[in-house]
Amino acid sequence: MAEANLKPWFKVEMTFEGGRVDDKADPGGRTAYGVTQRVYNGWRRARKLPIRDVWLVEVSELVDIYKTGYWDKVWGDRLPEGLDIVVGDGAINSGVSQSVKWLQRALGVRVDGVMGDATLMAAEAVNDVDALIAKIIALRNAFLKALRTFKRFGKGWLRRTQQLKDLGQHYARGSTGPAPAVAFMSGMSAKAVLESAKAPPPKLDALWSAGTSSGVLAQVTSTLEPLQNIERVAHLLTIVTVIGVLLGVCGGLYSLWARKRSARINEALDLRPAHPTNDNIPPEGLDDALEAA
């Protein structure tokens, strides 16, 4: 259905992913054109080739990795136009499983992160692909904001998803006019993965109810009560009582906030500067390699 979009999708990814990067803050680590060293190692091992630096990746290898490792796994050739590019980009940036989960959540089908007939049929039955794409991007943005690395790479990621949304909706049914241009921005190529998720707020219910603070206050109150007829002690006892009430209220409010924040994080997650050699220039021979793919 959307086989013709493989080439434009690949070229878009070359813009988003840039050239060679070795940023210690990027969970992907040493990367060339969006391919991490780990992925490249796996691709070469599967073909009984010696392991080598990902910065030496050849353009023919790039095309094969993108097609067999990402496009084919999200069934890019069979997804509706526009949706193929959006799901394919999510696979590159956050992994195949995570990208498929966004699609499945947006469709309202069982979420398992595996592209299958049920997911495809649900996607094909959608009348408004533009709206579906917008929903996927909203889910993806929520995921990105739930990552610790968002502070470092968030601006680039959101620029990427906005451009992707515009492009995907252009290719979707009913879209007309020239394809929106895409442009590289620092940070957009950093991998956005679940391992970078923010930790939920600590649970402090025990501290406020039966923990150290309440225990100490109870002991103080017990000690002062026999002396409450003394004016100063009575005032002190009142202060201690008020402190206990305030701690209880604050603890309850914190617990409520922590539960809501944890729920938002779980819902969103489904549960150094770039290297100077990042020239953001597609490798030579790209068109020829795509023709041969």
- Identity of the amino acid at 23: D
Q: Are β-strands 35-36 and 30-32 bridged in parallel, bridged antiparallel, or unpaired? A: antiparallel
- Are both 68 and 191 inside the same structural domain? yes
- Are both 152 and 228 inside the same structural domain? no
Instruction: Report yes or no on 290 lying in a domain.
Output: no
| Domain around 232 | 205-268
Write down the pTM of the prediction: 0.72
Domain count, the chain: 2
Within a 10 A sphere around the Cβ of 214, how many other Cβ atoms?
17
Residue 176 has pLDDT above 80, yes or no: no
**What is the rounded average pLDDT of the residues 269-280?**
48
Q: How far apart are CA 245 and CA 249, in angstroms?
A: 6
- Are both 194 and 77 inside the same structural domain? yes
- Are both 61 and 10 inside the same structural domain? yes
Closest CA relative to residue 100, chosen from 240, 164, 90: 90
Residue 179: give its domain's CATH number: 1.20.141.10
The residue out of 166, 198, 230 marking a domain boundary is 198
- Are both 222 and 185 inside the same structural domain? no
The residue out of 160, 183, 198 marking a domain boundary is 198
Per-residue pLDDT of 15-61, as tens digits, reads 999 889 998 888 889 999 999 999 999 999 999 999 999 999 999 99
